[in-house]
Structure 1
Amino acid sequence: METHSQNFSFTKFYSVVAVVVIFWPFMASAGPLRRVVDTHWYPATATWYGSPEGDGSTGGACGYGSMVDVKPFRARVGAVSPILFKNGEGCGACYKVKCLDSSVCSRRAATVIITDECPGGYCSGDRVHFDLSGAAFGHMAVSGYGGSLRDRGVISILYRRTLCKYPGKNIAFHVNEGSTPYWLSLLVEFEDGDGDVGSMHIREARSNQWIEMSHLWGAYWAIIGGPMQGPFSVKLTTLSTGRALSARDVIPGNWSPKATYTSRLNF
């Protein structure tokens, strides 16, 4: 059983991203029509961490913080090896995973959201490995056999990419607690569809210029300038399919650190 994120110590940055849009005050642009869903199943290995029926660790290398403990993330989180973590650009992506031993495994696949990276061990090299919350790991078992499956420790699984779905949720933008008018850091939350972010841009009040944000680590993006004046419009491009979305004035002029600003829409 892997244990990792409980031991991670990260400075908290929070990054955010932009939203899909249909009507004023939002403006949207459609990107390439590639598909993120993969119908082919690929082999990998899996372990679990945290408490047997738990939600995994609090936080994780992506920076979602306490979100991993509550719905819709709750019991659906997992850490992945570097080949899927992609230096943090794989954060937020969703996968279906299922185990293979018919004596304890059901045909049911668990859907997990990538919130963490697992270092070393089974996650080293170019291996594809999932270190799941105890609840997500047990979800792959036949009813009543979750404990038996967890007792096996390392198991062989199949996995494939799938769309992220957050019913009833709109994309939200969390502002890092250390943000100032000279350094603004954002994190996107509840992004349906691809779930990942390949690039982010921000536009200040009364400006026509989109300024590219820098990827820090995990799911954190930031911009240095200033003093910067809101309201801010935010534009994101997904990593997987290159879909571009923008939200006008989504972060208000009186924004504050540690606040979350929810949009009206989602993919």
Structure 2
Amino acid sequence: MEGLCYIFIFCTLVCSAAAAAVADLHWHPATATWYGSPEGDGSDGGACGYGSLVDVKPFRARVGAVSPVLFKGGEGCGACYKVRCLDRSICSRRAVTVIITDECPGGYCSNGRTHFDLSGAAFGRMAVAGGGGQLRNRGEIPVIYRRTPCKYPGKNIAFHVNEGSTDYWLSLLVEFEDGDGDVGSMHIREANSNEWLEMTHIWGANWCIIAGPLRGPFSVKLTTLSTGRTLSAREVIPRNWTPKATYTSRLNFNF
């Protein structure tokens, strides 16, 4: 995203002791295809709203679109999975870790199927050394997958203020969430207030609130979809916030 503006301010992190980071020790069957250029990172944007973040690390070459059963109407955005192919004649034992950034609603992804449409680079990484091209030539392949915690080394949770936001309509996108990766609910708190105002999920990984006039600085509280862990970032969005800016907290989930 262009015009990023980062600010590091004091945050507080509150995690439920009963909740553990999401992880699945069991592999499940699915199918996979690839899209974009053969060695490419996938396409810009996508149904989650991450925009050009998919072209840079840590997303780069790790993006994937999933069928509706995993996309979950956008609430599956940001979740991380390990995907491994099974044909030992061409596939290595190595699994590729992908981050959900898009939805594939039709074709291979329809009729309740569990399907991954991976970037060309991610798809090729499942092959034995030098076999990426051969594997991509197979088209659709059977795979196994499991949920895995997201890891963004050196990154803290950030909140991008979406274009068009005003003092009466505020929309946020969450970035770089370690652990669960997904968001089940979001709330904001205005300056000099003790009340948390609930935000509404609108599409992909985007949330909004209609109220006002809203007065910053804003604290943001998010709760993960998978395990219900909660993070509260105190006054992470400053009083003089601007649309299209990204404001970074100083902490992330521990897992």
Fold-level match, TM-score > 0.5?
A: yes
Which residue matches 1:37?
A: 23
Q: TM-score, normalised on structure 1?
A: 0.90
The alignment status of 1:185 with 2:179, answered yes or no, reads: no
The alignment status of 1:84 with 2:70, answered yes or no, reads: yes
| Partner amino acid, structure 2, of 1:27 | T
User: Which of residues 126, 143, 147 in structure 2 aligns to 1:140?
Assistant: 126
Superposed structure 1 runs of 4+ greater than 3 Å apart: none
CA shift for structure 1 position 177: 1.1
Mapping for residues 39-78 of structure 1, pairs under 5 Å: 39-78=25-64
Which residue matches 2:13?
A: 28
CA shift digits 1:91-142 (9 cap, x unpaired): 0000000000011100010000000000111101211000000000000000
CA shift digits 1:168-212 (9 cap, x unpaired): 111111000110001000001000000000000000011110000
Which residue matches 2:104?
A: 118
CA distance in 2, matches of 1:155, 1:113: 19
User: What's the secondary structure of 1:161's corresponding residue?
Assistant: strand
Which residue matches 1:262?
A: 248
User: What's the secondary structure of 1:216's corresponding residue?
Assistant: strand
| Partner amino acid, structure 2, of 1:203 | R
CA distance in 2, matches of 1:222, 1:132: 29
Which residue matches 1:16?
A: none
CA distance in 1, matches of 2:56, 2:164: 24
Which residue matches 1:240?
A: 226
The alignment status of 1:225 with 2:214, answered yes or no, reads: no
Residue correspondences, number: 245
Which residue matches 2:3?
A: none
CA shift for structure 1 position 35: 4.2
CA distance in 2, matches of 1:186, 1:112: 23
CA shift for structure 1 position 25: 3.7
Partners of 2:21 and 2:149 within 8 A in 1? no
Partners of 2:11 and 2:251 within 8 A in 1? no
Which residue matches 1:4?
A: none
Mapping for residues 166-185 of structure 1, pairs under 5 Å: 166-185=152-171
Partners of 2:64 and 2:99 within 8 A in 1? yes
CA shift digits 1:122-166 (9 cap, x unpaired): 101211000000000000000100000000000000000000000
CA distance in 2, matches of 1:25, 1:147: 48
- Single out whichever of 90-99 and 35-44 deviates more from structure 2: 35-44
The alignment status of 1:162 with 2:148, answered yes or no, reads: yes
CA shift for structure 1 position 27: 2.8
Q: Structure 1, unaligned stretches of length 5 or more?
A: 1-23
Q: TM-score, normalised on structure 2?
A: 0.94
